[in-house]
Structure 1
Amino acid sequence: MTRAARRAQIAAAALRVLARDGHARLTARKVAAEAGLALGHITYNFAGMDEVLAEAYRLASNDLRAATEAALSAAGGPQDRLRAFLRAGFSDRFLAPDHLRLRLDLWAAAQWHPQIAATERALYAAYRAALLDLLPGGPEPARDRVADTVMAALDGLWADYARRQDAAALERGLQGCEDLIRLSLAPAESGGHAAAPGPSPR
């Protein structure tokens, strides 16, 4: 097995331990046992558990990205692609309790571990860039504001669903994201933003 494959094997085991036991109970020994490896494999392939968690974060993000790309490839026009992007991370698979706890634990770990935080920022930036590519045209400041608001809303919807398990509220929130995009960026004739007024006649 190549070193890259071994690192992926260990990161996948770390994700399973996180989903089952939570971040507070994560240990190198548990990860090694979950992977079916001797503890030395972790210390040989990673500088420490922060690096294991950073790699696990990337692995989880790759899973979401693959699901998003599959949803986009099956979508039709621009509006369908945007809707598919917004909903890709809210399938039953990603709303399972163990995955929700995993996501919240990784967010929490990023607050205390610089290496994990750097990984989280890079992944967030890539996801935001993908969203920007799907937004309708409009003034750049407006598109940036909408992207930031939608990103925050999506994170909030994950956290809220983890707390309340309210599928109807989740759907209303996703529809709200679509409405925000349409009303903020769509042409005025379709019910979106109005054009900036010209100079007053003299």
Structure 2
Amino acid sequence: MGDSYDEECDYLFKAVMIGDSAVGKSNLLSRFARDEFRLDSKPTIGVEFAYRNIRVGDKLIKAQIWDTAGQERYAYRFRAITSSYYRGALGALLVYDITRRATFENTKKWLRELREFCSSCMAIVLVGNKSDLTHSREVNEEEGKILAETEGLYFMETSAMQNLNVEDAFLQMINQIHQTTIQKSLCAKMNDKTATSNCNNLGGGKEIINIDHEVTATKQSSCCYK
């Protein structure tokens, strides 16, 4: 598990969980945050959240994960509240139930809503939950992979009950948020350096820009990337 709640963190990352009711969002969150699973888990009404501290390299990240209502009647009633929580989110777990095809088909609706309220730079992981119920499967793993590839998402199948890939799904999202944050920071530094260089180098001088070692060597054409 992560570091203690009270330990001072380097970053605070906000993320949301979305998807239809009863796909297992609350159990995924409780498994990740507290290593708990409840068969009698009740539907989320409005919005709930949990924290967990994660260490990425030498940085301590406090992940603030919001669990939103999936039931249409609750989602409509709390839509104004829920949409306000979307704002500022840097990542999302978009969850469907592999034993209910309708929940998979509805992911496009949730994705549209997510992109309406959130930044286009956010890290999104498509999660096919309840992978332990193979005998009741209605959505093949390949279908999830194809949708994720088409929409530019990350993908993983999980089982909150068996604690399968739950940690990996959240860490995938958190790591990608961290990488995007570093990339944006680098772009801002380079822009500042360029502006200073343009002012100072009118006489033809040159300035060397040092790139932080923690930034990956992979070149990106933009500060916002998947």
TM-score using structure 2 length: 0.32
The TM-score with structure 1 as length reference comes to 0.35
Question: Relative to total residues, which structure has the larger strand share, 1 or 2?
Answer: 2
